[in-house]
Amino acid sequence: QVHLVQSGAEVKKPGASVKVSCKASGYTFTSYYMHWARQAPGQGLEWMGIINPSGVATSYAQKFQGRVTLTRDTSTSTVYMDLSSLRSEDTAMYYCARGFGRAVAGIDHWGQGTLVTVSS
């Protein structure tokens, strides 16, 4: 059974960075992509980026270019999303989601979400 378990809620000050983890289990970690998306309070879903199974290639939404970094650790089956230069508008629930198929991968399973609050 596929499980994606994310790290706990974070409170950060403007200008700081946050690193959210997503630990995968129940499948062959290196055979699937991992997406990240976020949802501001009361708003819709926003795609941030994807890391491929080899962990070498990633693709990011233009909006987050230069601020977001996706990495993975195959020894622990964990993917990390690092977002820097935080501002109040980054307050949101952040989700990891397993990607399947081709490079522009579909999504089949989601993590439970991690709330990141940016406040002075």
Partner 1 sequence: DIQMTQSPSSLSASVGDRVTITCRASQGISKYLAWFQQKPGKAPKSLIYDASGLQSGVPSKFSGSGSGTDFTLTISSLQPEDFATYYCQQYNSFPITFGQGTRLEIK
Q: Which stretch binds partner 1 (CB under 8 A): 18-26, 68-76, 80-88, 105-113?
A: 105-113
For partner 1, the binding residue among 24, 50, 86, 116 (CB under 8 A) is: 50
Residue 98 to residue 114: CA distance in whole angstroms: 16
For partner 1, the binding residue among 22, 105, 116, 118 (CB under 8 A) is: 105
For partner 1, the binding residue among 29, 32, 80, 95 (CB under 8 A) is: 95
Residue 77 to residue 51: CA distance in whole angstroms: 13
Strands 92-100 and 33-39: antiparallel
Which residue is associated with the tokens 């403007």? Answer: 14
Would you say how long the chain is, in residues? 120
For partner 1, the binding residue among 55, 69, 110, 117 (CB under 8 A) is: 110
Taking CB under 8 A as the rule, does residue 59 contact partner 1?
A: yes
Residue 111 to residue 15: CA distance in whole angstroms: 26
For partner 1, the binding residue among 10, 21, 47, 91 (CB under 8 A) is: 47
Q: Which is nearer to partner 1, 35 or 72 (CB)?
A: 35
- Sheet strand arrangement including 18-25: 3-6, 18-25, 78-83, 68-73
Chain residues binding partner 1 by CB under 8 A are: 35, 37, 44-47, 50, 59, 61-62, 95, 97, 104-113
